[in-house]
Amino acid sequence: MRIGSSMSVGLIGLRAFTIRTQAFVSPGLPYFSIIGLPDTSLGEARERVKAATSTVGFRWPQTRVTVNLSPASLPKRGSGHDLAIAIAVMGASGNLPHPENDDMLLLGELNLDGTVLPITGLLPILLHAREEGITRVVMPQENVSEAELVHGVEIHGIRHLSEAIHLLGGTCTPHHFEKSPLKTPSLGNGTEQLGTPPIGDMNEVLGQNTAKRSLEVAAAGGHHVLMVGPPGAGKTMLASRLPGIMPLLDERQALEIASVRSLCGTLPLYGMSTLPPFEAPHHTASTAALAGGGSGIAQPGAITRAHGGVLFLDEAPEFSSRSLQVLREPLETGSITLSRSRSATIYPAEFLLAMAANPCPCGNYWDQAKACKCSPRERMRYMSRLSGPLLDRIDIQIDVPPVESLSLRQQSASESSATIRERVVQARSCARERFSEFGWRCNAQAQGQWLRRNTGTSALSPLSEALRARRLSLRGADRALRLAWTIADLAGRTSPTISDISEGISMRTRR
């Protein structure tokens, strides 16, 4: 009995696991079966592998061929295991001298003519291979540029099945074709991102100094923000510039976000950048588009694609209630769990949420020239679409009134995004150093009990007054205190003052 063996890697979300592919050729009527919880696309590998191996002169066994994907308890999906299956079957048939390849991964989809097609999700696969000590990876040539982002793994790019056979010491009918140059994604400089228009600068926003200050606090402390104002006030313009004032991503964060894009198949479009991502789904987006979904193993949604950056919901009250409620889990835990009948997939979802809303359905509540036709009841019903539990998780809630001046002097005096980012980075560094023993990375993650205990008693007086006046709940007071600590960090103070807490309360309570 001869068993051919090879290795590939499967993915459940971003969690990778090694797959041992074993092929066994046994007596019996001609039959080819794949076992081990394959999905439909993987089950169709039977026909792709048969046709591809025939192009290299391999005669398919006219007996029973069984391929097992181990561990059998985990679901396998996609066509990226075709190459491993083909090599295992050829090893079991005695056409390869070394059927065991314990230090090599084989990745790639096979076309009917034996060409090897690129796969998605390669980056998390390679990171897993490096952690497991796997030294060599055979993959499609078109994926090599992505693979070069991971160091410490020997990469072999191939375009045809025959190249893999020769690499493993076998002989077959050669295949010749021209090679075309490939584009290699490179580590960005934090100021640009492939596949998206360049972000603007904060000094391009005319006026709205209060809103700019609020966004600076949001970026410095990791606070979520809601902006309410009439159309044309600059809410979308402000939100789109928020990534430009946030700290740039370190290498670990950039690789994690690139892994998400690799899984979505968009890494060649975006490249690898240190700029925090920006996702702005339309208000007609479904719940699955936001959270992620699909049959079998659920795929990432906008919430996961915004991980490490900004998720912007323009016209937030127009989103369905069900879609908005999906945000509650990631806002609390920094991850989202998508459960299906065969598996549960956990994706990272630690983002800064920015929402924009009109003050009423017609949007003319602030406009003196256009009389608002919405009744108080209609305005209340419109804003109530943003539920209390969701709003309770939004630290900053501000009004963005219309701009009433086109003063060029005012615009020239406005600070650039780079200047604001310097203060934000410094404030984040202060918070990270202060909370190093607790594992909190920013003020938005800090516990209210710790903040109250380390804030001066006299400085807490504005919070006590707001609680007595029912302007804030106890939870709201803790969130205002978090804002105050961020304001103090931006000013270089070791703890918040009365004025810092008063400003935090004003950002927490609209008007």
Does a structural domain hold residue 182?
A: no
Distances (CA, A) of 399 to 15, 40, 212, 444: 42, 51, 12, 21
Q: Which of 24-38, 183-197, 234-248, 316-330 has the lowest mean pLDDT?
A: 183-197
Does a structural domain hold residue 448?
A: no
pLDDT tens-place string over residues 254-296: 999 999 999 988 888 887 888 999 999 999 999 999 998 876 6
Helices (H), 11-59: 40-43, 45-54
The pair of three-digit structure tokens given for residue 435, joined into one six-digit string: 């909370």
User: What pLDDT does 211 receive?
Assistant: 93
Phi, psi of 206, rounded to the nearest 5 degrees: -80, 125
| 282 and 410 share one domain | yes
- Please report, rounded to a whole number, the percentage of residues in the chain having pLDDT higher than 90: 57
| 352 and 243 share one domain | yes
Query: In 10 A of CB 509, how many CB atoms?
Result: 14
Determine the Cα–Cα distance for residues 467 and 332; give it in Å rounded to an integer.
24
pTM assigned to the model: 0.86
Q: Which of 18, 257, 77 is nearest to 149 (CA)?
A: 257
| 161 and 225 share one domain | no
What angle (nearest 5°) sits at the alpha carbon of residue 444, between those of residues 442 and 213? 90
| 143 and 243 share one domain | no
| 320 and 398 share one domain | yes
Which residues sit opposite 3 in a β-bridge? 24
| 137 and 208 share one domain | no
Q: What is the mean pLDDT of the chain?
A: 87
Query: In 10 A of CB 452, how many CB atoms?
Result: 14
**Residue-wise burial string across 251-263, b where 16 or more C-beta atoms lie within 10 A, e elsewhere:** eebbbbbbbbbbb
| 309 and 353 share one domain | yes
Determine the Cα–Cα distance for residues 82 and 400; give it in Å rounded to an integer.
55
Which CATH number fits the domain that encloses residue 366?
3.40.50.300
Amino acid at 414: S
Domain count within the chain:
2
pLDDT band at 197 (very low <50, low <70, confident <90, very high): very low
- Please report, rounded to a whole number, the percentage of residues in the chain having pLDDT higher than 70: 90
Domain hosting 68: range is 3-167
pLDDT band at 190 (very low <50, low <70, confident <90, very high): very low
Mean pLDDT, residues 78-106 taken together: 84
Instruction: Classify strands 15-26 and 3-12 as parallel, antiparallel or unpaired.
Output: antiparallel
SS3 180: coil
Whose tokens are 């963005």? That residue is: 400
pLDDT band at 369 (very low <50, low <70, confident <90, very high): low
Does a structural domain hold residue 430?
A: no
